[in-house]
Amino acid sequence: MKILIIGGGGMIGRKLAGRLAADGKLGEREISELTLFDVVSPDAPGDSAFPVKLRTGDLSNVDEAKALVAEQPDVIFHLAAIVSGEAEEDFAKGYRINLDGTRHLLDAVCAINEYVPRVVFTSSIAVFGAPFPDAITDDFHTTPLTSYGTQKAIGELLLSDFTRRGMMDGIGIRLPTICVRPGSPNKAASGFFSNIIREPLAGAEAVLPVSDDVQHWHASPRSAVGFLLHAATIDGTIVGNRRNLTMPGIAVTVGEQIEALRTVAGDNVASRIRRVPDEKIMHMVSGWPRNFRADRATGLGFQADASFEQIIRAHVNDELGGNIG
């Protein structure tokens, strides 16, 4: 089995590649080759029993997309995108990367006769826009209020249509905000959700730009990898025609995040959060979804974290070696 990860240099791409290398197979099939592609050079996972190819390029270049699928990988994970804040700031770049890149990939797959790979597309809860019910159900309409959300919603429609026509076997997964993200802060508007946990745990101060009563939908990097693996192996006939699924997660307020941090790491760590209200961020956050009932995904076997405390403990174990700064 050949696997291609587009966005293999990103946080989730690296973790997915590491899991595949550790398992040596996807589902019941042995992996024969893994290709990691990104705009920056990705790193190969250690101790892999199969060859790993590393490629760099820009998916918005149509020739790159053609070259990537020329070897006909059995499973394609499409994780590449510029994040919400950057897509909002740079309108043209957002559409070039998030929409044109996706379209080039799907077109390249369709151009190969009798080639029908499983394509796993990472979408986002940003496809939903306010006003919201108390919990967004699987039947709630997609009316995004950001350019990033719009680009992801268009990608979902393309994936569904190409799958309906038998050109590929696509599954789209709407990821919750992934928290706690390791590494340095990125340009995602939602980055503060991770910052207020990651930085204090590492012994640094974090800035909180919103009020404690802001609620949001979260899942850990561990869960994100689990979602991707399950999406790659699930029987498409069971999923049916509605190929885009909202992933399960945990709905917590910022205040509940902080209390979970206090439970795991103590008062001294929680006190490293400094409240600096930011009107621009608060306005943006007011239009974000807060809570979901992901019944379809749960019924299809997708599993998320049991609590936000569990999310924090996973970060401490996976990224900090069990040590708190």
Say if strands 118-124 and 75-78 run parallel, antiparallel, or are unpaired: parallel
Q: How far is CA 48 from CA 18, 24, 105, 121, 321, in A?
A: 8, 7, 27, 24, 22
CB count within 10 Å of CB 96 equals 17
Say if strands 215-219 and 250-253 run parallel, antiparallel, or are unpaired: antiparallel
Concerning whether 148 is annotated as a catalytic residue, the answer is yes
Say if strands 33-38 and 2-6 run parallel, antiparallel, or are unpaired: parallel
Q: Of 37, 128, 148, 193, which is the active-site residue?
A: 148
Q: What is the side-by-side strand order in the sheet with 215-219?
A: 177-178, 215-219, 250-253
Distance of alpha carbon 301 from the chain centroid: 18
Q: How far is CA 171 from CA 56, 128, 166, in A?
A: 25, 18, 13
Rounded-to-5 percentages of helix, strand, coil across the chain: 40, 20, 40
Q: How many CA atoms lie within 13 A of 106 on its CB side?
A: 25
Distance of alpha carbon 185 from the chain centroid: 16
Strand partners, 121: 78, 172
Tokens standing for 175? 């990821």
Q: Measure the CA angle with vertex 218, ends 318 and 299; round to 5°.
A: 100
CB count within 10 Å of CB 24 equals 12
SS3 call for 91: helix
Q: Measure the CA angle with vertex 24, ends 23 and 25; round to 5°.
A: 90
For residues 150 and 99, the answer to whether their CB atoms sit within 8 Å is no
The residues annotated with a catalytic role in the active site are: 148
